[in-house]
Amino acid sequence: MSRTYYIAGNWKMHKTRAEAAELAKALVSQLKGGKHRYLVAPSFTLIETVAPIVKGSNIRLGAQNMACEEQGAHTGEVSVFQLKDLGVQTVILGHSERRHNYKEDDALINKKLKLALKHGLEVILCIGELLEEREAGKAEQVCETQLVKGLEGVSAAELANIVIAYEPVWAIGTGKTATPEDADAIHAFVRKLIGKLYGADAAEKIIIQYGGSVKPDNAAQLMAKENIDGALVGGAALKPDTFVPIALFG
């Protein structure tokens, strides 16, 4: 079975509304007719600007995070209802920056994930190890814990709305990239784990993206690997001339 490649751009905390509109328009124009799945995830303040530009195109609208509660006294948070009201279709959860810089743990990420699924959002669940964890031989163990705890209470039917993104933390924004072989080994491990949890068919179908210094010059090599089904792109997603070649590879 051939899985569809899924290329997502995480804009992180970049762009004004005018800059976001310019980037979104360029991507809609240049990715028209592209044969893969595409997504952009702007900052919360930019979603309303980007939404009408990507609407009706082949680019999904994503958010970079979401509150774990539906509404209420949660100062500074953004709810699933507010995201859906803006046309958001997908939410990125468990990104390493959320885990390590903002101390989000597996239980919180799982709560957010189940809430997103309840309200019909697709979830990109990020997992990945720190450099010291990899050097200690614990990469698989860390990824297994994050995956199993992240998916706790998720049914096989709900899994169809989940994408996994493997992002070795040591390769994010550092210019270091896991070799295609290193990345594929963890992707294969994750796929096998999904098989244990949900069965062979689910393991075959699930899309596992790679994230961590993906650039035009390494994207095709990474995605040529059997278990790598796309990319979660950070820095290179901020300009059409670096994101479009990744998105249109192959």
The first and second tokens of residue 90, run together, are 């997908």
Domain at 6-247, CATH class: alpha beta
Is residue 206 predicted with pLDDT exceeding 90? yes
Is residue 3 predicted with pLDDT exceeding 90? no
Residue 171: predicted pLDDT: 85
CA distance linking residue 111 with residue 153, whole number of Å: 10
Q: What is the mean pLDDT of residues 12-32?
A: 98
Q: What is the mean pLDDT of residues 172-180?
A: 82
Residue 173: predicted pLDDT: 77
The 10s digit of each residue's pLDDT in 211-250 is 988 999 999 999 999 999 999 999 999 999 999 999 999 7
Q: Is the model more confident about 82 or about 1?
A: 82
Average pLDDT of the chain?
96
Q: What is the mean pLDDT of residues 172-183?
A: 85
Percent of the chain with pLDDT over 70: 99
Is residue 39 predicted with pLDDT exceeding 90? yes
Residue 153: predicted pLDDT: 98
Residue 170: predicted pLDDT: 86
Residue 109: predicted pLDDT: 98
CA distance linking residue 112 with residue 175, whole number of Å: 30
The 10s digit of each residue's pLDDT in 72-125 is 999 999 999 999 999 999 999 999 999 999 999 999 999 999 999 999 999 999
Q: What is the mean pLDDT of residues 174-203?
A: 94
By annotation, the residues acting in catalysis are 95, 167
SS3 for 84-131, per residue? HHCCCCEEEECCHHHHHHCCCCHHHHHHHHHHHHHCCCEEEEEECCCH
Q: What is the mean pLDDT of residues 130-152?
A: 96
Is residue 146 predicted with pLDDT exceeding 70? yes
Is residue 1 predicted with pLDDT exceeding 70? no
Give the Å distances, CA to CA, from 81 to 12, 59, 66, 151, 181: 21, 21, 10, 22, 40
Percent of the chain with pLDDT over 90: 94
User: Are 204 and 243 spatial neighbours (Cβ–Cβ below 8 Å)?
Assistant: no
Residue 178: predicted pLDDT: 84
